[in-house]
Amino acid sequence: MSAVRRRSKFLVLLVAVAGLALVLSACAFLKEGSLSVSQPGAIGAARVHFVLCTLNEELECGPNEVTEFGETVQYLLGVAVPKGAPAPATVTAQPTKAGAGPIVFSRNDQVAAEFAAVSAKLAVELSEEEKAGFRPWPPPGLEGIGYLSAPVQDQKGLNEEWAVDADFGLPAAADGSPFTGPFATGIAMGIREVSPAHPADAPVHCLQSEGSLEEGEAICSPTLEEGQAGTSDLRLGAPAAAPVFIGGKETLPFSLNFASTAAALPSFNVAATSTLPGAAVTVSSPSFTPPAVDPGTHRSGGSETVTVAVPKNAKPGVYEVTVTATTPQGGSASQVAKFEVTKPKLKIGKVKLNKGNGTAKLSVGVPSGGTLTVSGKGIGKVKRTAKGPKTLKVTIKAKGKAKKTLSSTGKAKVKVKIAFKPSNGASVTKTKSITLKKKLAG
């Protein structure tokens, strides 16, 4: 549950200072005690919930009275959030019963700046006693996000409430570490008249001190209520791009960086996919619950390994693996890693002939650990192994009919098949024609 700090006393104080009870007893204002913060997905965006209601002359929810404004007004909304938290472009207040329509707020940076200006002015002008219920805008450690509503037709006697559920993303640290929470917020509200002389797209200016309200000026009440809730955040770290041979397997380790100030830790289901057609993708653990967080840092960690089996008919190229961790509540975190599918390349060196015994020495460069096999009609089969990239030397010896031809003519042409089976991948073959030569006696 969120810890809500009520600011109704400050609202009454602001009205007393400016003499604006009639102005605020209009269509919609923050309902006292309605602010709460939650995390519906157990990770991911934090939801800021509050209720707007029509206010009567006692500044309590009830039928609104005649105001000093005209029939059309706009509402100013400020939502304070942790610095760097992604904010929605629009926020909609939905009516909770039949009567009024929705109120749509659009992002407006002037609104946030004006709330801050009013707050700074009040901090200087209020007496020490009056400052007892005052909180600056935005609250310390937070940044203010401003919204301005579409024009709303004011209706005398309307008794309505609107519910607001605005989802704000968790801030992303520069080093990629998760947000520890808690997610704190504060709400500010305001209202202004819309007229032909002061259209809905006119610049926003708030009344900043005691005195009469100028035409087109807005009434702004900073930091009416504050609240917060513990949150959880999971960030997945991707490994560096890795090469893998056609027909081989590659294991990609993803780091799990978790942080939480929530009362209970979420559990996760893990799945992985790849852009490589026909690839078999498996995860080391299809589900996990993060280890308990350190009480000082509120962080814990772990890892998840994804294995990709590359089919033998795969085409060389760079492909992606996406691993996604999802909570039962619907929150998710994902990360993408790249891997390069390549075909093993054999480097066939020069052939050195030994005319004294009729053999040849063949040099073959292999790209990794594996087994090299040299064979062919008329020669003896030879195998060599390598633990890593290396140049292997193989002796080619004639046999059978080729050996007889070599002994009788001094020459024998053979076709050599060179096959390399990587420790992790499918075989690759090359052929080479070699003419063996031998000095004949006499």
Would you place residue 193 in the very low, low, confident or very high pLDDT band (cuts 50, 70, 90)? confident
Look at 237 and 133; give whichever has higher pLDDT: 237
- Predicted TM-score (pTM) of this structure: 0.82
Would you place residue 13 in the very low, low, confident or very high pLDDT band (cuts 50, 70, 90)? very low
Q: Vertex 21, ends 70 and 53: CA angle to 5°?
A: 75
Q: Among 346, 335, 329, which residue's Cα sits nearest to residue 305? A: 335
| Phi, psi torsion values for 193, nearest 5 degrees | -85, 145
Find all residues with CB under 8 Å of 127, minimum gap 6, and list them.
none
pLDDT tens-digit series, residues 64-98:
765 555 578 899 999 999 999 999 999 999 999 87
Residue 68 is predicted with a pLDDT of 53
Would you place residue 214 in the very low, low, confident or very high pLDDT band (cuts 50, 70, 90)? confident
For 198-235, the DSSP string reads B-TTSPP-B--SSSPPPTT-BEEEEEEEEEEE--EEEE
User: Residue 281: exposed, middle, or buried by beta-carbon count in 10 A (0-12, 13-18, 19+)?
Assistant: middle
Of the CA atoms within 13 Å of residue 136, those in its CB half-sphere come to 14
Residue 50 is predicted with a pLDDT of 97
- Residues forming a β-bridge with 171: none
The domain ranges of the chain are 8-229, 234-342, 347-437
Tokens 């062919």 belong to 376
Look at 76 and 175; give whichever has higher pLDDT: 76
- Residues forming a β-bridge with 392: 364
Does the domain at 347-437 match CATH 2.30.30.30? Answer given as: no
User: Is 239 in contact with 252 (CB distance < 8 Å)?
Assistant: yes
DSSP type of residue 100: S
User: Is 338 in contact with 241 (CB distance < 8 Å)?
Assistant: yes
User: Residue 203: exposed, middle, or buried by beta-carbon count in 10 A (0-12, 13-18, 19+)?
Assistant: exposed
Would you place residue 209 in the very low, low, confident or very high pLDDT band (cuts 50, 70, 90)? low
pLDDT tens-digit series, residues 255-271:
999 999 999 999 999 99
Q: Supply the mean pLDDT for the chain.
A: 89
Domains 234-342 and 347-437 share a fold: yes
Segment (H or E) for 119: helix 109-125
Task: Report the CATH number of the 234-342 domain.
Answer: 2.60.40.10
